[in-house]
């Protein structure tokens, strides 16, 4: 029975070990503080990244809405141009002329409500950022680089150009061929 004694002893020892709670390794307070700081830093970085993403997406959305609006307005301007050309061809005082003038006035009022302003008028100085020169004439009657004729009006919303004005510009002296 010596064997049974050894196995009884081993069984008793195993039971005693199982009955004792396992010893948990508790981290040191410094380690916990370091881990907390690391997690806090990750949290703050994630919040900052989220905030930057939201701002970037809001800016992108605003840019896309403006582009879409600008494209729609440019198409509307083609209709304004057509009505202006038709008005020039109609006999002044005729019912057609009066009707076209009323439609054009409505269209211009709509553009004004949307913040669109006309660019390019006779007598303004030429500005390559806002005007496209489609012709040059020699003239000593007006200052150099002055708009003498507007072939097609330009339009802007604030500082943003929808379309530059097509203009004829005066030059002093003779033009070189």
**Which H/E stretch holds residue 9?**
helix 2-19
pLDDT score for 48: 96
For 41-87, write each residue's pLDDT tens digit. 999 999 999 999 999 999 999 999 999 999 999 999 999 999 999 99
Q: How many CB atoms lie within 10 A of CB 165?
A: 25
Least confident of 138-142, 149-153, 162-166, 168-172: 138-142
Distance CA 24, CA 18 (A): 15
Q: Which residue has the tokens 């530059």?
A: 164
pLDDT score for 140: 85
**3-state secondary structure labels for all residues of 98-165:** HHHHHHHHHHHHHHHHCCEEEECCCCCECCCCCEEEEEEEECCCCCCCEEEEEEECEEEECCEEEECE
């Amino acid at each position: 029975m010596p064997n049974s004694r050894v196995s009884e002893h081993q069984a008793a020892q195993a039971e005693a070990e199982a009955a004792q709670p396992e010893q948990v390794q508790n981290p040191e307070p410094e380690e916990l503080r370091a881990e907390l700081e690391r997690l806090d830093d990750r949290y703050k970085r994630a919040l900052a990244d989220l905030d930057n993403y939201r701002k970037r997406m809001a800016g992108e959305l605003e840019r896309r809405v403006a582009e879409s609006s600008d494209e729609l307005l440019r198409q509307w301007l083609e209709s304004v141009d057509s009505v202006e050309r038709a008005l020039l061809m109609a006999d002044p005082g005729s019912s057609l002329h009066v009707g076209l003038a009323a439609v054009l006035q409505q269209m211009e009022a709509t553009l004004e409500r949307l913040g669109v302003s006309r660019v390019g008028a006779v007598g303004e100085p030429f500005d390559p950022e806002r005007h496209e020169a489609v012709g040059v004439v020699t003239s000593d009657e007006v200052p150099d680089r002055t708009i003498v004729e507007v072939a097609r009006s330009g339009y802007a919303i604030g500082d943003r150009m929808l379309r530059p004005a097509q203009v004829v510009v005066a030059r002093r002296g003779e033009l070189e061929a």
